[in-house]
Structure 1
């Protein structure tokens, strides 16, 4: 059989376990030298393919690649860059073919979320639209857990474990100070349109009176009067109030409470700062002393407290992506299928990229309590297995010992630059 090289890249916001997927892709490809020659990684995602900035992963030892399983962030650099349509920017696709031909690339693995699935789908169509044979498989990743078809998304289980742990610990802190000091603590977590991470905060409340007492989801319109009444009731009943909130909650006008007016490279509104907005509202209307925190990058980089389930799934999906490509599957994504809740059992199925790209999976209404302020038992049953198990990284000098690859560039062959 013909041996072709492979291209792998990471896209969008990185996670605690995206490198575990990279490890799965690279190690599996190395087990098939009769089909896959070298795995070239794109430096900074698809931009690396367009600018011919490729990294030769074959120059990394097996030990270094194995260490990716325990290292957070994107080992090869990520990006927020979405290919336009062929009609809008044919030059981009001609450039991809030029680079792929020059480096004998026949396999394309793109590790990311919904926008990345769209890019992967467009690349998969190169054989049909432009006559270049390529097998493209999307490797799912997003802390937002909002990809369709798959039971969950790699990266989510670990961020869920982190925020549930963090809000539980902060809740103990607030409870101990509530008599004479802070009455309210607010943790802001990621989640533009889907409240999965906020829902995970709810796992910390296992007993009556434990925080978080209030959760605010993007799926539920924010009503300041109902919210303030709930805060007041909670403080009067428990002496303090712990709140988890998605960055993407919207008011009755349909606008994000925390919208800054800026846009990211995908065209999405840049968010951040809903926690201090709510804290000030509470201070102005109820007079309670407060503290707030924004989990931000900490939640998605927290490899030291990663979920074992999440790490195992991330690796397995990277491995499955290569196996699907070798089987000739094109324009697909390996997806998790849940077989049982307790004990949690799962396997991997094929999801057509046409049904994944640009589709968001929101929290079902029956996962949110009737009053809109917490999670239900059904949601808890869904979430609980995803944070199960510990998968600690190795430590050195008291700190996690993460790997930094050499990331040696491949010599350019096309003889020209390309601007993105």
Structure 2
């Protein structure tokens, strides 16, 4: 006899390995038929639950699901949709429980970042208050690497590998032309409040003269004059200057260098592009010829250069989520714990969602050099293992052989549409 059904949803910005977590979870549930019935996935994340658009993953054969291990994006669809506090919008939370009850769902797995862990925590509390038996487990995912209670976050290692590689490759390009062409190259990477992705670019620099010559961290105040002086110094010393800037760098008054004045669905300030803003500053104040690039979605979708460590950890947190639920744990998230010793080891342990929800993990100051423009050896020691190992997808006709799932396999609705 099978157990109660489970609901899985992907949330927020996706990564190149989030689908591997989905694979780990689904396989973990399939291996425990006495505990889990059908695993339903929400089409477009939590919106799929609210709208009762549920995908029956039991319809997918193991061979089909295996493609999740090397396909980027969110296979079941993700969304930027933040459920407000229970006291502000109890109706939406009650709608979730209503849908879960209609489909005999006793397990809720939410795969996302800070806001998602907060949602999973709140749903857990409300289900308990309403007397509805529901096990809520968060599954960590964020390229920003800013989740508390875990050493690092699935999705980050692959972005770090992409950014470090791109920085090195662009550096060779600029160095070959700087005598008569571009002197300054600026690459913008994601990271609103935490500079982990920008820091990863520093792995490309084996010596001071190697790019990146400057890294701009959101943890430190941006000083335009000091920045421009350092650009001039690098051009004078090395012939060119490669800058990697986190999208969230801000002035002393807290204003983002690239703030657009628009809010996104989570209520965060929409950032308008720090690279062109810095490039304009360089052009107007120094006269150096410049180019810039915005890594944007390319950095988080680059499955072709994913880190094997990252892939393994993404699978592991999905598998652990199923195991924790089967063991009766409630309101937890599988966290990655770094082992002691010179060689890199890691394990998975449960962390309470209350210790993760709405907490941000920033770059430690001792990971950043005194001048504020590079990473220290401590940062290198932390970052290096996370980008190691290759796990190339299969290729066909010269391109990665990715696969889209058939998301039309929706379960028949049992409820009226939500208001």
1:335 match = 335
Task: Return the offset for 1:301.
Answer: 0.2
Q: Residues of 1 paired with 2:217 and 2:109: CA distance?
A: 33
Task: Return the offset for 1:91.
Answer: 1.4
1:350 match = 350
Q: Secondary structure of 1:336's partner?
A: strand
Alpha carbons of structure 1 residues 204 and 341: separation in structure 2 relative to 1, 3 Å: farther
1:222 match = 222
Task: Return the offset for 1:2.
Answer: 6.6
2:385 match = 385
Q: Residues of 2 paired with 1:353 and 1:20: CA distance?
A: 22
For residues 130-150 of structure 1, the C-alpha deviation after alignment (integer angstroms, 9 at most, x for no partner) is 111100000000000000110
User: Is 2:371 the partner of 1:409?
Assistant: no
Task: Return the offset for 1:272.
Answer: 3.1
Alpha carbons of structure 1 residues 166 and 253: separation in structure 2 relative to 1, 3 Å: same
Q: Residues of 2 paired with 1:329 and 1:2: CA distance?
A: 19
Describe how 1:90-101 pairs up with structure 2 within 5 A.
90-101=90-101
When structure 1 is superposed on structure 2, of 240-249 and 199-208 the one drifting more is: 199-208
User: Is 2:143 the partner of 1:143?
Assistant: yes
Task: Return the offset for 1:340.
Answer: 3.5
2:125 match = 125
8 A contact 1:341–1:381 mirrored in 2: no
1:10 match = 10
Gaps of 5+ in 2: none
Q: Residues of 2 paired with 1:33 and 1:404: CA distance?
A: 26
Task: Return the offset for 1:333.
Answer: 0.3
Q: Residues of 2 paired with 1:209 and 1:90: CA distance?
A: 56
Task: Return the offset for 1:86.
Answer: 2.2
8 A contact 2:97–2:127 mirrored in 1: no
Q: Residues of 1 paired with 2:387 and 2:85: CA distance?
A: 38
For residues 144-163 of structure 1, the C-alpha deviation after alignment (integer angstroms, 9 at most, x for no partner) is 00001100000000000000
8 A contact 2:334–2:349 mirrored in 1: yes
Describe how 1:292-311 pairs up with structure 2 within 5 A.
292-311=292-311
Gaps of 5+ in 1: none
When structure 1 is superposed on structure 2, of 311-320 and 263-272 the one drifting more is: 263-272
8 A contact 1:218–1:249 mirrored in 2: yes
1:33 match = 33
Q: Residues of 2 paired with 1:243 and 1:86: CA distance?
A: 43
1:45 match = 45
Q: Residues of 1 paired with 2:330 and 2:266: CA distance?
A: 25
Describe how 1:105-124 pairs up with structure 2 within 5 A.
105-124=105-124
Task: Return the offset for 1:177.
Answer: 0.3
User: Is 2:56 the partner of 1:56?
Assistant: yes
For residues 21-74 of structure 1, the C-alpha deviation after alignment (integer angstroms, 9 at most, x for no partner) is 000001111111111111000011111111101000100110111110101000
1:373 match = 373
Structure 2-normalised TM-score? 0.98
8 A contact 1:341–1:382 mirrored in 2: no
For residues 260-304 of structure 1, the C-alpha deviation after alignment (integer angstroms, 9 at most, x for no partner) is 111111000011311111111111111100000000000000000
Q: Residues of 2 paired with 1:331 and 1:10: CA distance?
A: 17
Q: Residues of 2 paired with 1:342 and 1:224: CA distance?
A: 39
Q: Secondary structure of 2:133's partner?
A: coil
**Which contiguous aligned blocks of 4+ residues in structure 1 show a shift greater than 4 angstroms?**
none
8 A contact 2:40–2:54 mirrored in 1: yes
1:174 match = 174
Task: Return the offset for 1:17.
Answer: 0.3
Q: Secondary structure of 1:262's partner?
A: strand
Q: Residues of 2 paired with 1:242 and 1:370: CA distance?
A: 19
Q: Residues of 2 paired with 1:341 and 1:105: CA distance?
A: 43
Q: Residues of 1 paired with 2:48 and 2:9: CA distance?
A: 8
2:261 match = 261
8 A contact 1:4–1:106 mirrored in 2: yes
Q: Residues of 1 paired with 2:200 and 2:272: CA distance?
A: 19
Q: Residues of 1 paired with 2:60 and 2:14: CA distance?
A: 21
For residues 225-262 of structure 1, the C-alpha deviation after alignment (integer angstroms, 9 at most, x for no partner) is 11111111111000000000000000122100101111
Q: Secondary structure of 1:371's partner?
A: coil
Q: Residues of 2 paired with 1:251 and 1:236: CA distance?
A: 26
Q: Residues of 1 paired with 2:126 and 2:181: CA distance?
A: 62
User: Is 2:252 the partner of 1:252?
Assistant: yes
Q: Residues of 2 paired with 1:349 and 1:260: CA distance?
A: 40
Q: Residues of 1 paired with 2:220 and 2:208: CA distance?
A: 23
